[in-house]
Structure 1
Amino acid sequence: MNFCTTIWEEIAPLRRAILSHPFLDELAAGTLPPETFRHYIVQDSLYLAEYARVLALAAARAPTAAGRLEFSDGAKVAVQVEEALHQAFFAQFGVTPEMAQQSEATPACLGYTSYLASLAATRSYEELIAGILPCFWVYWEVGCDIRPRAASPNPYSAWIETYAAPSFGEATRRVCDLVDAAAAQATPAIRSAMNTAFRNAARYEWMFWDSAYRRERWPI
Structure 2
Amino acid sequence: MSFCDAVWEDVAPLRQSILAQPFLAELADGSLPPDSFRHYIVQDSLYLAEYARVLAIAAARAPSAAARLEFSDGAKVAVQVEEILHQTFFEHFDITPAMVAMSEPSPVCLGYTGYLASLAATRSYKELIAGILPCFSVYWEVGCAIKSIAGSPNPYEAWITTYADPGFGEATRRVSALVDHAASVSTPSVRAAMAKAFRTATRYEWMFWDSAYRQLDWPI
Given the two structures, how large is their TM-score scaled by the length of structure 1? 0.99
Q: Name which of structure 1's ranges 78-87 and 100-109 shifts more when overlaid on structure 2.
A: 78-87
Residue 19 (structure 1) shift = 0.3
After TM superposition, the runs of 4+ consecutive aligned structure 1 residues lying more than 2 A away are none
Q: Name which of structure 1's ranges 11-20 and 86-95 shifts more when overlaid on structure 2.
A: 86-95
% identical equivalent positions:
73
Given residue 137 of structure 1, which amino acid in structure 2 is its aligned partner? S
Aligned to 2:204: 204
Residue 86 (structure 1) shift = 3.8
Given residue 211 of structure 1, which amino acid in structure 2 is its aligned partner? S
Aligned to 1:158: 158
Aligned counterparts, 1:29-44, within 5 A: 29-44=29-44
2:27 and 2:215 mapped to 1: Cα distance? 15
Aligned to 1:80: 80
Residue 85 (structure 1) shift = 3.0
Aligned to 1:130: 130
* RMSD (CA atoms): 0.5
Given residue 22 of structure 1, which amino acid in structure 2 is its aligned partner? P
1:109 and 1:29 mapped to 2: Cα distance? 25
Aligned to 2:190: 190
1:90 and 1:74 mapped to 2: Cα distance? 22
2:190 and 2:86 mapped to 1: Cα distance? 36
Q: Deviations over 1:125-181 (max 9, x none)?
A: 000000000000000000000001000000000000000000000000000000000
Aligned to 1:174: 174
* Number of residue pairs aligned between Structure 1 and Structure 2: 220
2:16 and 2:86 mapped to 1: Cα distance? 27
1:22 and 1:184 mapped to 2: Cα distance? 37
Given residue 107 of structure 1, which amino acid in structure 2 is its aligned partner? P
Alpha-carbon contact 1:130-1:198 (below 8 Å) kept: yes
Given residue 151 of structure 1, which amino acid in structure 2 is its aligned partner? G
Aligned to 1:145: 145
Alpha-carbon contact 2:45-2:85 (below 8 Å) kept: no
1:149 and 1:68 mapped to 2: Cα distance? 36
Aligned to 2:219: 219
2:65 and 2:80 mapped to 1: Cα distance? 22
2:22 and 2:129 mapped to 1: Cα distance? 29
SS in structure 1 opposite 2:136?
A: helix
SS in structure 2 opposite 1:149?
A: coil
1:61 and 1:86 mapped to 2: Cα distance? 30
Given residue 77 of structure 2, which amino acid in structure 1 is its aligned partner? V
Alpha-carbon contact 2:133-2:176 (below 8 Å) kept: yes
2:215 and 2:57 mapped to 1: Cα distance? 30
